[in-house]
Amino acid sequence: MVLEAANDGWVVTKRNLLKIKRVPDLVIFSTIQPIMFVLLFAYVFGGAIATPGVNYREFLIPGIFVQTVAFGAGVTAIGLADDLQKGIVDRFRSLPMSRGAVLFGRTSSDLINNVFTVIVMSVTGVIVGWRINDGFLRGVAGYAILFLFAYAMSWISAVIGLSVKSVEVAQSAGFIWMFPLTFLSNAFVPTSSLPPVLRPVAEWNPISSVVLALRDLWGNAPAGVARGTGFPAEHPIGLAIGWCLLILAIFVPMSIARYRRAASR
Amino acid sequence: MANAIIAERLGKTYGSVAAVVDLDLAVPEGTVLGLLGPNGAGKTTTVRMLTTLIIPTSGQCEVGGIDVIAHPNQVRRIIGVSGQYAAVDDYLTGYENLEMVGRLYHLGKRKARKRAKELLEQFELTDAANRPAKTYSGGMRRRLDLAGALVVQPPVIFLDEPTTGLDPRSRLGMWGVISDLVKAGSTLLLTTQYLEEADRLCDDIVVMDHGRAIAQGTAAQLKAQMGGERLAVAVSERDELGPAADVLRSVGIGEPEVDDQAREVSVPIDRGTAALVEAVRKLDAADVTPTNLEIRKPTLDDVFLTLTGQPAEEQEIGGTP
């Protein structure tokens, strides 16, 4: 059973990845976009806050990474809505394949896309002066958390894709909630600069935890820049992993339940 | 002979809308049942219930002796489904589409590949095998979708409007493919809005309208309900209608119907061509020159008109749920 499920998930993943091969424009734009983000944020925002002795650009890069993979996960909603609309999900559902395969295949292929994006961004980041300062292992650990987060976000996106009626709706519904989520965080500004009411929200925001975890692991959180207060500031790594697991625990079963219902409308 | 498909008082309700109401079906193994009806009659909903895609609100159904509601995954192993909208992945080639379906039936890599090649050949898609399905014509997409339904040579096949939207040549090709399936011994349930299609392919026909079965029988039985043949005479001048009606009254078995507009007279007959020959002689003697003279066999269109009070085509409003 487990083997069959893994086979089904892989077959669907491969099918989704083939689309990237068939539509080369997708590859071009998914390469340009992360490069553009790194450059824009690094040079436009990077100079906005001048803190003596602090490389703000280095501080900013993990935030850009996290925001970009979050938006990259939004693609999951579009892919699923598209499959539902075109009737491909009907074909899948009339086959004796494992129940979660379409969802695991979709989230896996979207994760692979995100990995590709992060590689492009990392290279661009290094070119503009960003570095992993605390060694290989902590570097890898940072990437692991980043990808875990991207994968978890994909499952939220999956629930959205299965709940909307069309691809067009998925295109906006899949992304709109990410703007407050990513900007109400420490991704681009220190939380200490926010109004007091919003500060705790931003500090407990999963995005902030992941960003702070990356900064800590990669040595990108210079002492001169405020990192917030309390538990989120003291245990960002544990909290980041906890958030991702919590998101998965809620949204994986919810997606599977929605998938069954969405397809049986 | 055992029944491959059974439905008992099957029903599906969406909110206050009843898509299918108390439907009974029995399809013996190796035969073809046609669900005939206009859009919105509940045909697609019925197919979706029988193929495990939606759960019925009421009633029972069995496919291949397996309870569909209780054991959907067992049913999925023995059915092939080809939908109303060809569920083909645009970005995959024809070959990749079929190989994927084979892998998802757990055929294993080698068997899935072999089967994909066989099917491409059988459906005359070998030349286009390595092109993305996006580049296929409507007829080719349908054939590819149907091929996808046949990957494991399932004993029971469901085809939802297999020829809707196809041009006449592709439709003929599709009919040929479907006839071959039947000869190979498969049990088929197909839905159609085309009376000609049901007439040609189906052993048994269930006419549906507004979610209910309103008639059932072979094409011949349904036509027989409409009475037998009619002899029709069209003339060029209006004053010839009277003499023509007199002639038809004498050869027919009922009162002739006169259509002033079409300048046509028709009458029910029971002697076939003998009545036609006699009518020709008498019309000639009465100095009436017909512009058209024919025996009309009732069509399924007439059946539909009589059963529902409106022609099948004019009912095509509203979507299929």
Rounded distance between C-alpha atoms, residue A17 and residue A23, angstroms:
10
- pLDDT at residue B175 above 50? yes
In this structure, the strands spanning B204-209 and B32-36 are parallel
pLDDT class of B316 with cuts at 50, 70, 90: very low
Of A111, A68, A66, the residue nearest A220 (C-alpha): A66
pLDDT class of B169 with cuts at 50, 70, 90: confident
Q: What is the pLDDT of residues A4-55, one digit of tens each?
A: 889 999 999 999 999 888 888 877 887 898 889 888 888 887 766 655 556 7
Rounded distance between C-alpha atoms, residue B115 and residue B107, angstroms:
9
Going B110 to B115 to B121 to B127, the CA torsion angle's sign is: negative
Say yes or no for a CB contact (<8 Å) between A96 and B83. Answer: no
Question: Looking at residues B270-298, what average pLDDT do you find?
Answer: 85
Q: Which of A7, A18, A94 sits opposite B81 (nearest CB)?
A: A94
Specify the number of domains making up chain A.
1
Q: Which of A4, A7, A94 sits opposite B76 (nearest CB)?
A: A94
B:140-159 residues touching chain A, CB 8 A cutoff: 145, 148
Say yes or no for a CB contact (<8 Å) between B53 and A18. Answer: no
Tell me whether B44 touches chain A (CB under 8 Å): no
**C-beta of residue B8 within 8 angstroms of C-beta of residue B61:** yes
What's the mean pLDDT when you consider all of chain B? 87
**C-beta of residue A15 within 8 angstroms of C-beta of residue A105:** yes
Say yes or no for a CB contact (<8 Å) between A88 and B87. Answer: yes
Question: Looking at residues B265-276, what average pLDDT do you find?
Answer: 85
- Of all residues in chain B, the one with the smallest CA distance to A4 is B106
Residues of B in contact with A11 (CB under 8 A): 100, 103-104
pLDDT class of B311 with cuts at 50, 70, 90: low
pLDDT class of B312 with cuts at 50, 70, 90: low
- Of all residues in chain A, the one with the smallest CA distance to B89 is A88
pLDDT of residue B321: 42
List all residues 6 or more positions away from B15 whose beta carbon is below 8 Å from its beta carbon. none
Q: What is the pLDDT of residues A163-193, one digit of tens each?
A: 998 999 999 988 899 999 988 998 888 888 8
B:162-221 residues touching chain A, CB 8 A cutoff: none
pLDDT of residue B122: 87
Say yes or no for a CB contact (<8 Å) between A95 and B101. Answer: yes
Cα atoms found within 13 Å of the Cα of residue B317, Cβ hemisphere only: 4
- Of all residues in chain B, the one with the smallest CA distance to A3 is B106
Higher pLDDT, B309 or B169: B169
pLDDT of residue B1: 65
Tell me the nearest-neighbour CA distance from B117 into chain A, angstroms: 18
pLDDT of residue B305: 73
In this structure, the strands spanning B187-192 and B32-36 are parallel
- pLDDT at residue B318 above 70? no
Q: Which of B53, B77, B86 sits opposite A93 (nearest CB)?
A: B53
pLDDT of residue B310: 65
Tell me the nearest-neighbour CA distance from B207 into chain A, angstroms: 24
- Of all residues in chain B, the one with the smallest CA distance to A21 is B91
- pLDDT at residue A89 above 90? no
Phi and psi at residue A98, in whole multiples of 5°? Answer: -70, 150
Say yes or no for a CB contact (<8 Å) between B81 and A90. Answer: yes
- Of all residues in chain A, the one with the smallest CA distance to B54 is A264
Say yes or no for a CB contact (<8 Å) between B89 and A88. Answer: yes
Of A236, A126, A261, A245, the residue nearest A185 (C-alpha): A236
- Of all residues in chain B, the one with the smallest CA distance to A261 is B54
pLDDT of residue A129: 85
B58 forms beta bridges with B11
Q: Which of A11, A23, A265 sits opposite B104 (nearest CB)?
A: A11
Interface predicted TM-score of the whole assembly (ipTM), two decimals: 0.84
Say yes or no for a CB contact (<8 Å) between A7 and B73. Answer: no
Q: Which of B53, B76, B106 sits opposite A4 (nearest CB)?
A: B106
pLDDT of residue B111: 95
Say yes or no for a CB contact (<8 Å) between B77 and A96. Answer: yes
| Best residue in A11, A88, A94 for a mutation probing chain B (most B CBs within 10 Å) | A94
Which residues form the domain of A39? 2-263
Tell me the nearest-neighbour CA distance from B194 into chain A, angstroms: 23
| Ramachandran assignment for B52, one of left (phi > 0), alpha (psi -120 to 50 degrees), beta (any other) | left
Domains identified in chain B and CATH numbers:
3-88+136-224 (3.40.50.300), 230-297 (3.30.70)
Say yes or no for a CB contact (<8 Å) between A94 and B89. Answer: no
Tell me the nearest-neighbour CA distance from A146 into chain B, angstroms: 30
Tell me the nearest-neighbour CA distance from B103 into chain A, angstroms: 7
Q: What is the pLDDT of residues B104-133, one digit of tens each?
A: 999 999 999 999 999 999 888 999 999 999
Tell me the nearest-neighbour CA distance from A99 into chain B, angstroms: 10
